[in-house]
Every structure is written in structure tokens, then in C-alpha cells.
């Protein structure tokens, strides 16, 4: 080899080495320390790319062009937003992987974080396991069970390629007139604290050597969680959704804040801000509670807005978007659910930066917090959904956990009209059984709001599950005649000789403001069905509702009364207990009032005079041979 050839060879080696060096970037190297990766990535980002990380847009707006062009940081499914009706796990993963490919094709290749409201199982997805809503889980008093529910939910969420859920709701509901009360585990902050054990279920247990309070997600079968809605959302005046929580700082700290301490210690990845206000100050604009207290005092990292949350800083909402954006970002919100107005978001944000209203330091701080979670949960190394998890959706093992949760959540409020003559457990062998009521054969009513659609649905074709009627037929002796009549009249009741009746009535599905109620009455024909059936037949009433409702006028006519809350898809959990395979063990997570005139009324109040007190619940023993 001549001198010129050797020189050319050396040049070639140097150029190849330079190319390798040019391709190597610290932020893409998982062997580098987290802060090194963060510093490196932030140093490379333009203002627009930083602002894009602070944006979360709706799935329908997240086209490949938008994700690549704007380098959007996050995407969500709003309530009921799916790639197609009854979409399969594969369809979900296909959609999200295409979004990730677009995001990774942007200049810096920062993956998106996709979020969804998996609030009682993966409730937007067809065939997913639907667990009891939080109020029912509060009745179980079983944090270990709730942790198992979190783990099962995480697997089903990951099966659709989604790494982030807007759950759990750790509100302390102080007034059942609030339309979100079923999303709260209890009126008692201590019980809500216990139920934060769902967080290590969703995210995985913190490693033994981990610092407390550091966001953590243990791999590809776990999801980032979100504690919501910070803070005081369950204490609004008159229970009106998004209203004003009127209490002093001590009241806020002693009632509404304690669950957040536990959520943060357990490494929850994000906290979502409440629409509500505290003493007239909107939480989305509350610098003291978001930055001074949550971030600086509690050392929490990543705060996300609620859906259109910043718009609602003003009245009417959205009347001054630029002002709202300024207030929210300066208050301490890091990621903003836009969810559709990305051009306005960027235009207003750049204007605020140009005018030096929002300093670059606040933007860098927000982006660093967001990227920290993305790095911590392994999104840079594993951005794509895993098709091999498809069978996790609605699998039998998860349904058995849900069934266990149902039977442990049932609260027995009355058992027998006469002392020593209980009706429950019911015999599996009887001449003829009547099953009646609006909620006896309606899976949508059984699941409640936040199921497939935001407001929930009526009927049995929304997803897969077992209604109470089906569960009764599967539980009793095959020779028994089970007669179903939703609203039987007197002639029907007189002309049949029923051994006993199971009557299921309650609330129709709702979510958020649509569920606010001033009177908390059971909708007709529920009361008429109770009065009619229980006047002629021994009756066990199963009340399916998201909260305590007015029942005092009807209790005397019932032989037994069971609060079943919103049990979800596994109706066999109800019959497991009704027929004595398992005993009743649930305890009221909420005070059951006599009259709405007493509200708000919570355990410990001076005027406490309930129909059934907090913690009440009759028990029964399992029947080994139920004939």
C-alpha cells in the first residue's frame, strides 16, 4: 500500500469515526445518568420543541403530520374516544405505534406519552375487565385487593399500547350530591389513603434503594399513574361539580390533602389539577398550592391540567386564552390538555415568551419534569406497543379479581324484617324465583359512567360481562324456574307463587356534572317496583348506585337491602354473596343519610344523625351446603 493509499485509508477511517460520533447523542444512551440525558436533550431543543412537549392533544387530532411537524409531546383519548367501535387490542396498538413512528421521525425523535382514563379497569376498551367503581372498592377496606386491581388494569392498558392512565381519583367526597362521588373511595381521608395502594399496582413497587417520591414505572407491563384532582375537588359547595371548596388551610390539609402525601411517597408519576376552586381561587391558577406547596414543599415533579382545564380559569371558559395560558403555566402546570387548539396554543405561548411574560426558565423546568417521566418509564428505549399482550384484555384471571372485588364491596344494610329471621343468604333451591327491576338485566347500568362512553350506556351489548339476572341463572339449581320481569304488575305477582324475589334498581349511568343531583332520589320506576314487588313477595333489594340515595321511605317494606354500588362486568360477584357461597363483609365507605336536607353530613360532624353510619355493614357466614 502506497503513501497516498494509506493517507486515503486514514481519511476514510476518520470520516467514518466522525459519522459515528455525529450519530451518538447522550440522551439516547440508556447507560448515561438520567440528569445527563435530560441536560443533553434540553440543550438541543428549540423553543417550539419545548412548547410541544408541554402540549397534550386528542387522538382525533394526532395525525402523523401534526405529530412530526409540531413534535407534540403527548396524546390522549377523551372519554369514549377509540380507533373504532369495539376496536381490538391490535387496532389500538396499530394506531399508537403509527403515532410513535411519526413522533420518532421528528428532528429529535422524542416519543409521545399516550394517556387514557382507565378509572375502573380499561373502561373505554371493548371486552376489558370492568372493576367496581372506587366507592365500591372503598367498601372492601382491602388495599391488597386494590393493588391487584391496579396490576391487572395496567396489563390491560399496556395490551392496547398505552403507557399512561389518568387514575386513580383520590378525591375525598364530602357530599354525595357531587356527580363524581363514585370516583371517590370514601368521605374519610384515612380510607382514601389506604386505597392509594392502587398506585404501586399500576406502576410497580418502588425498588428498595429508591428515593421516596421519585416517579417510577417498573417496565413494559406497568403504566404511569396520575393522582387526581388536586386538590379539594370532593369538597365543593353543595356538591356541585367544578365548584368552590370553602374551607381554611387546616381543613384543606386535614381532609383533602392526605391522600396526595401517600400517592407522592409511592412514586406516582403525575398529578392532575382540579377544575374546582379553593376559596374562590381556581386551582388551575393557584401558584401557592401548585408550585409553593406541591412542587417545592412536597417535592413533586409533574403536574398536568385537566381536559380544557386552563380554558376554565376564566368565566365564560376560553374568553381570554392567552391570559389563561399565562396564569396556568406560571402557577406551575407543566403539561396542558389542549386538546384540539394546538395552533392557538403555540401562537399564544410564543407571544407570551416574546413579551417575556413567561420566562424560558419556567418552560425548561416544565419540559425537564415531563422528559424525566418519559425517561424514567423507558419510553425512549421502548416506545412501541406490545402485540403479545393482546390476550390480557378481559382475561379470566382479571375477571376473577373483579368478581372478588364485587363480593367484598357489597354492603348488607338490612337482613330480615324480624330479629333472628334473616332472608339472606338465599336458598339455591326454591320453587320459583322472581328477578325484577330496571338494573337486573342491564350491564350498562351495572357498570355506570366511564364505561365505553364517557357518560356510560344502557343495555347489554356495550361490552362483555354478566348481568345480575344471568348470574342468578348460573348460580341456582338448574331445576329452579327463574322468572324475569322488569316491572311486574299486581296481577302478575298475584298469579305466581314466588319463593322470593331479587329486585335490582338504582341510578342510571352518568359522569361528572351530568351526575350532580340536588335530590338523590332513585329514578322511577325504581321506587314503584320496590313497593309493588316487596308488598307481595319476600324481597331482597339490590341497589346499584354511585352513592347513597334516598331509601328511607322504602326500607320498611324490604326484607333485605344490599348496597352494590357500581359493580362492573362481573355480576357473579353479587350472587356469590346473595346465595351464601361467601359471606357479606363490606362496610359503608360513606355515611348513608336519612334526608338530603342533612347534607353535607360526614362522620365526626356535630349534627351526625345518619340512617346508616359510616362503617356500617351487617355480616353473614358462608353456607357450605346451600339448599
Q: Is 512 an active-site residue?
A: yes
CA distance 120 to 402: 10
Query: According to the 3-state scheme, what is the secondary structure of 299-347?
Result: CCCCEECCCCCCHHHCCCCCCCHHHHHHHHHHHCCCEEECCCCHHHHHH
Annotated active-site residue in 117, 142, 188, 306 = 306
Q: With CA atoms as reference, report the closest residue to 568 among 417, 436, 420, 467.
A: 467
Q: Supply φ then ψ for residue 493, to 5 degrees.
A: -70, -35
Exposed, middle or buried by CB within 10 Å (0-12, 13-18, 19+), for 265? middle
Preceding amide of 231 cis, omega within 30: yes
Contact 345, 336 (CB under 8 A): yes
Annotated active-site residue in 183, 311, 327, 512 = 512
Give the SS3 label for residue 485: strand
Q: Is 306 an active-site residue?
A: yes
Give the Å distances, CA to CA, from 407 to 157, 529, 572: 24, 25, 8
End-to-end distance of the chain based on CA atoms, in angstroms? 98
Q: 10 Å Cβ neighbour count for 223? A: 28
> What are the b/e assignments for 464-478, b being 16+ CB within 10 Å?
bbbbbbbbbbebbee
Q: Supply φ then ψ for residue 80, to 5 degrees.
A: 85, 5
Q: With CA atoms as reference, report the closest residue to 545 among 296, 3, 187, 181.
A: 181
Reported as type and span, the H/E element at residue 242 is none
Q: 10 Å Cβ neighbour count for 303? A: 24
Give the catalytic positions in this structure.
Answer: 306, 512
Amino acid at each position: 500500500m502506497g503513501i497516498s493509499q494509506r493517507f486515503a485509508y486514514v481519511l476514510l477511517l476518520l470520516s467514518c469515526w466522525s459519522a459515528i460520533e455525529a450519530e451518538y447523542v447522550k440522551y439516547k444512551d440508556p447507560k448515561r445518568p438520567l440528569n445527563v440525558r435530560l441536560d443533553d436533550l434540553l440543550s438541543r431543543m428549540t423553543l417550539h420543541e419545548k412548547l410541544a412537549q408541554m402540549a397534550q392533544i386528542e387522538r382525533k387530532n394526532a395525525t402523523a403530520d401534526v405529530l412530526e411537524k409540531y413534535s407534540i409531546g403527548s396524546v390522549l383519548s377523551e372519554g369514549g374516544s377509540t380507533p373504532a367501535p369495539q376496536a381490538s387490542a391490535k387496532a389500538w396498538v396499530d394506531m399508537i405505534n403509527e403515532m410513535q413512528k411519526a413522533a420518532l421521525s421528528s428532528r429529535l425523535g422524542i416519543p409521545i406519552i399516550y394517556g387514557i382514563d382507565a378509572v375502573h379497569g380499561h373502561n373505554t376498551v371493548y371486552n376489558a375487565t370492568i372493576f367496581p367503581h372506587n366507592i365500591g372498592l372503598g367498601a372492601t377496606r382491602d388495599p391488597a385487593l386494590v393493588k391487584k386491581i391496579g396490576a391487572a388494569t395496567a396489563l390491560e392498558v399496556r395490551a392496547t399500547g398505552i403507557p399512561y392512565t389518568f387514575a386513580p381519583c383520590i378525591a375525598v367526597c364530602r357530599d354525595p350530591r357531587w356527580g363524581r362521588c363514585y370516583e371517590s373511595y370514601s368521605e374519610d381521608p384515612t380510607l382514601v389513603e389506604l386505597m392509594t395502594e392502587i398506585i404501586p399496582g399500576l406502576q410497580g413497587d418502588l425498588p428498595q434503594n429508591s428515593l421516596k417520591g421519585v416517579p417510577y414505572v417498573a417496565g413494559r407491563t406497568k403504566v404511569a399513574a396520575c393522582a387526581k384532582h388536586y386538590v379539594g375537588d370532593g369538597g365543593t359547595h353543595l356538591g356541585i361539580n367544578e365548584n368552590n371548596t370553602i374551607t381554611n388551610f387546616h381543613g384543606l390539609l386535614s381532609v383533602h390533602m392526605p391522600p396526595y402525601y401517600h400517592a407522592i411517597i409511592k412514586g406516582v408519576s403525575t398529578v392532575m389539577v382540579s377544575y374546582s376552586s379553593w376559596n374562590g381561587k381556581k386551582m388551575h391558577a393557584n401558584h401557592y398550592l401548585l408550585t409553593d406547596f406541591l412542587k417545592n414543599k412536597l417535592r413533586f415533579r409533574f403536574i398536568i391540567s385537566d381536559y380544557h382545564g386552563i380554558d376554565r380559569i376564566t368565566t365564560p371558559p376560553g374568553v381570554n386564552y392567552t391570559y389563561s395560558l399565562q396564569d396556568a403555566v406560571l402557577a406551575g402546570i407543566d403539561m396542558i390538555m389542549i386538546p384540539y387548539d394546538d395552533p392557538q396554543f403555540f401562537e399564544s405561548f410564543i407571544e407570551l415568551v416574546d413579551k417575556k411574560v413567561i420566562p424560558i426558565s419556567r418552560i425548561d423546568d416544565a419540559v425537564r419534569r415531563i422528559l424525566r417521566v418519559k425517561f424514567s418509564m423507558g419510553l425512549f428505549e421502548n416506545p412501541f406497543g406490545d402485540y403479545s399482550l393482546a390476550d390480557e384484555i378481559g382475561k379470566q384471571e382479571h375477571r376473577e379479581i373483579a368478581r372478588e372485588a364485587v363480593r367484598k364491596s357489597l354492603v348488607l344494610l338490612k337482613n330480615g324484617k324480624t330479629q333472628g329471621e334473616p332472608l339472606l343468604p338465599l336458598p339455591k333451591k326454591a320453587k320459583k324465583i322472581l328477578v325484577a327491576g330496571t338494573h337486573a338485566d342491564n350491564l350498562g347500568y351495572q357498570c355506570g359512567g366511564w364505561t365505553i362512553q364517557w357518560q356510560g350506556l344502557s343495555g347489554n351489548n356495550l361490552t362483555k360481562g354478566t348481568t345480575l339476572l344471568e348470574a342468578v341463572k348460573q348460580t341456582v339449581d338448574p331445576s329452579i324456574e327463574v322468572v324475569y320481569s322488569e316491572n311486574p304488575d299486581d296481577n302478575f305477582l298475584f298469579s305466581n307463587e314466588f319463593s322470593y324475589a331479587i329486585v335490582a334498581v338504582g341510578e342510571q349511568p352518568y359522569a361528572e356534572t351530568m351526575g350532580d343531583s340536588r335530590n338523590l332520589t332513585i329514578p322511577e320506576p325504581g321506587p314503584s317496583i320496590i313497593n309493588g314487588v316487596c308488598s307481595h313477595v319476600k324481597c331482597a333489594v339490590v341497589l346499584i348506585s354511585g352513592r347513597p340515595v334516598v331509601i328511607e321511605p322504602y326500607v320498611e317494606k324490604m326484607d333485605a337491602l344490599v348496597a352494590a354500588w357500581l359493580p362492573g362486568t362481573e355480576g357473579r360477584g353479587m350472587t356469590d354473596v346473595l346465595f351464601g357461597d361467601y359471606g357479606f363483609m363490606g362496610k359503608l365507605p360513606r355515611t348513608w343519610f336519612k334526608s338530603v336536607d342533612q347534607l353535607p353530613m360526614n362522620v365526626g360532624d356535630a349534627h351526625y344523625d345518619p340512617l346508616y353510619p359510616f362503617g356500617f355493614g351487617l355480616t353473614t357466614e358462608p353456607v357450605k351446603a346451600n339448599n
